[in-house]
Structure 1
């Protein structure tokens, strides 16, 4: 089915992939709220030695973005992301979980197709994307997508299982996610595509390797668990923020080069995306959502009416290290 064929109005509740908790929240028209789960501290990783298979040619104004799910950037870090791409910046995007909601690889691939479509809109081209598998020095196997006509952009996915809003994962993936891995409640996580399993040292080493391979001048990610702004956020978001915050210094990325974007709790802050910027941001999101049956929306007004998403789209709040209100 084509993307145009998938464009329908309204929030698609049939086959909803966000789990029972998200279903209940949407039915009562409230925004999603993530469970607050204490998280163990994350040790600094050991960077694998040698040239990485993930290395890419550095380009102008190289930025790396590392997120829990394939839509976090376009929801929480736009219009900054669109502005950077339009200005010719090199952008290396990484998504740590498959965002699969226990629905398997097919749904994860739908989300990946959606984010590629969103990037096509932001870059102003619909050229083909090459897909290839990379086995890293860390032992991880990741999948990378690169537009054939624009190698300054790339998307790398690890496809770890989604932890869900309650942080407990889904039955189909062993009721485990990033929270359990960081807290030592499970020894490893198996990606939904059957790639080699990740223990915590492999995951942090993989993130460090990807950071070193990209050689970014700046890095964007989710707000970490240690921040006061993480309360009420998706547990996967805060885990990824903490993982990146622990990994970045190992490869020489200074604290001032980091930007941490507030997730779900941004809805409680003043609206700061309006007018033409909001119109463009919603269109990028709508383009992504055409491939994601959980949040598909045919019109901008329908997208903005979605519980939670409409509020997040109207806001973007990057925090520096000094603004995180760490505990």
Structure 2
């Protein structure tokens, strides 16, 4: 990286400061993420407000699949609440290898085992928040809109940390056809699902919920806490060849109930805007690790507390102080080394339209929100909303040759019958440059069978040819690449085409090189596959084996001369690698993988010009140069999804991310050096597991 480039990068300025418009600048500090951890728990204030609410099926789904996002949210001091739909009572035996219920090991006690899991969760949260697993909780029972009751636990030392226990019965089987389950309730196999109260709970009266009452009860919790970020599991993980879900049935159907509850909550008016982030659960077992060793070890520390690995009686409960089933393998199936989003890792949700106007898109409240800025010196305006509900996390935007913007997404359909559930690809196009958007139009889905059971299509990736014809690419539920292209600019789309491939992960990415050839790439568990036009307008060749190394499954791409450059995370470290793809013959050729960006981090990488934006090892929104392994310049902001970037025709480079406050946050790389260096204090180092608390520093104010 040249001295001039380093100077420009060091002079990134907050492009806007318009809180009323829902847009703020990133606040940055100095230094590398790899400083030693402090010997004490620290509250690291975020520059954003807002609150995060996790909803999971079982006690431990949050620790296995949503950390370190969870612990880092707690560390900022924002409001953090986790809701557990079922009690996780399993077979009622709190031991590592539970025998069958009918042998001589003694009677099962599901209420006691569920309480032990509660105790382990409370210990892990207290440790994340205060460093002391035995820190006190205040517990009470509250009525729910479903006609039952829930237990609410408040951490006394950090009352912004809450746990809500819905205490419904779990399926007691990963995939078995048990009607007494969330799956059975969703599919109408049973009219109501009963409770499984834990021993020691302040909830004293048994209850049951219909499907509508479960939805209402969850929506009521959302209304009580008013989150700006909702985290939940994957409602559409897909199926195996044998027809069973790739995930635990409670994870899948619990997430579908959350979808229905969020849609109900979105109809209310007394609430802030909110985003939704979905997390991969069991399928992580067969996928590459995404976390660096330091973060994985920190995550494991909280899991060991939950699993009660030391067997010390720190909680004073006869039921036990944690989940001994997890004690022999607190790592899970390698889950302590991994966090992965099932949607929202795409980085193509910004575009430059006519006359230098920028557009940014994100799903808020189940609708497509957009922000716009008319020029480099103009304020951002938004969020404004396209009509229509059911829009999923993950948007892709492109500019048409006449300056109009087209935005693509997927949409989930909910209905009273199980077969009403499904997902389709939709798009909306401006009626004129800088004008209003037309109505959503549907492209359907390439999954034509078992739509309600799978619907596991990826978010779309979109390309536009010189004539203005659009092509949309998705990964289908069979993990192959599918495409649909307009027959004429502005006209109807042809049928879904099967482009092949196997075992694809994440969202496909596409770019057009300087010679007009289109490239499409998709990750697999072991490498990356490529589809490339040998000449502009020619049919695609591929899929080609690229020979690229294993990635974490999330790709970004930008055009570079007569080729395109790929960016990806390396498993086990989170560092960013890059390779240039060029075409000289029937197959693309790839340069040696080089380092780009600092060490650590996870999730998608926004690429624009010479700028990379993504998570540093501390999980914060950070930037660095694209042409070398410089350290991340860290902000003090956590965010959801992945950043996007645009290299404007005016010469500036803009990166944006959606904060946990459901606001757009922006930084701009100015084209000339000489600005003041970074302002504000550096972010505090990550706290180790099990450290005592210290008084929090004075929070920064939002710009």
Fold agreement, TM-score > 0.5: yes
Mapped contact 2:146–2:209 kept (Cα < 8 A):
no
Structure 2 residue corresponding to 1:270, chosen from 288, 293, 300 = 288
Match of 1:160 in 2: 168
Structure with higher helix content: 1
Unaligned runs of 5+ in 1: 1-58, 170-174
Q: CA RMSD in A?
A: 2.3
Q: Secondary structure at the match of 1:91?
A: strand
CA distances 1:260-310 after superposition (whole Å, capped 9, x unpaired): 10010012222111221011000011110111121114xxxx534xxxx14
Q: Secondary structure at the match of 2:231?
A: strand
Match of 1:65 in 2: 54
Give matches, 1:60-209, under 5 Å: 60-103=49-92, 104-124=110-130, 125=132, 126-163=134-171, 164-169=173-178, 176-193=180-197, 195-209=206-220
Q: Partners of 1:145 and 1:86 in 2: how far apart?
A: 18
Unaligned runs of 5+ in 2: 1-47, 93-109, 198-204, 309-321, 345-391, 395-455, 459-476, 478-703
CA distances 1:151-206 after superposition (whole Å, capped 9, x unpaired): 1011011111110212444xxxxx61111111111111111125211111110000
- Computing the radius of gyration over CA atoms, which structure comes out larger, 1 or 2? 2
Q: Secondary structure at the match of 1:272?
A: coil
Higher relative contact order (CA 8 A, sep 6+): 1
Q: Partners of 1:199 and 1:106 in 2: how far apart?
A: 26
Q: Partners of 2:64 and 2:113 in 1: how far apart?
A: 19
Match of 2:325 in 1: 294
Q: Partners of 2:210 and 2:91 in 1: how far apart?
A: 20
Q: Secondary structure at the match of 1:92?
A: strand
TM-score, normalising length: structure 1: 0.73
Give how far 1:313 is off.
1.7
Match of 1:311 in 2: 334
Q: Partners of 2:333 and 2:157 in 1: how far apart?
A: 33
Match of 1:221 in 2: 232
Q: Secondary structure at the match of 2:334?
A: helix
Q: Secondary structure at the match of 1:233?
A: coil
Quickly say closer, same or farther: Cα 1:256–1:132, change in 2 above 3 A. closer
Q: Secondary structure at the match of 1:294?
A: helix
Quickly say closer, same or farther: Cα 1:212–1:256, change in 2 above 3 A. closer
Q: Secondary structure at the match of 1:220?
A: strand
Q: Secondary structure at the match of 2:209?
A: coil
Total equivalences in the alignment: 255
Q: Partners of 2:207 and 2:64 in 1: how far apart?
A: 30
Quickly say closer, same or farther: Cα 1:152–1:119, change in 2 above 3 A. same
Q: Partners of 1:246 and 1:167 in 2: how far apart?
A: 24
Give how far 1:250 is off.
2.1
